[in-house]
Amino acid sequence: MDVISRLLKDRILLLGQGVDDEVANVLVAQLLYLANEDPEKDITLYINSP
């Protein structure tokens, strides 16, 4: 399992680059997936973007 998959499993998302359409779509898809899996659990988002 790669690091990003492991973090997603722990409900941790990383944004480490500028936001364009593709990056935004992936991030929103991950947020929707996690919200659907368990709407009561927190989702942690780390932002390190220019």
Q: What is the pLDDT of residues 11-42, one digit of tens each?
A: 999 999 999 999 999 999 999 999 999 999 99
pLDDT band with cut points at 50, 70 and 90 for residue 50: confident
Q: Is the pLDDT of residue 1 over 90?
A: no
Phi and psi torsions of 43, nearest 5°: -120, 130
| pTM score above 0.85 | yes
Asked whether 10 and 41 are in contact (CB, 8 A), the reply is no
Q: Report which of residues 49 and 45 the model is more confident about.
A: 45
Q: How far apart are alpha carbons 50 and 47 in whole angstroms? A: 9
For residue 49, pLDDT over 90 is answered with no
For every residue of the chain, DSSP letters joined together read --HHHHHHHTTEEEE-S---HHHHHHHHHHHHHHHHH-TTS--EEEE---
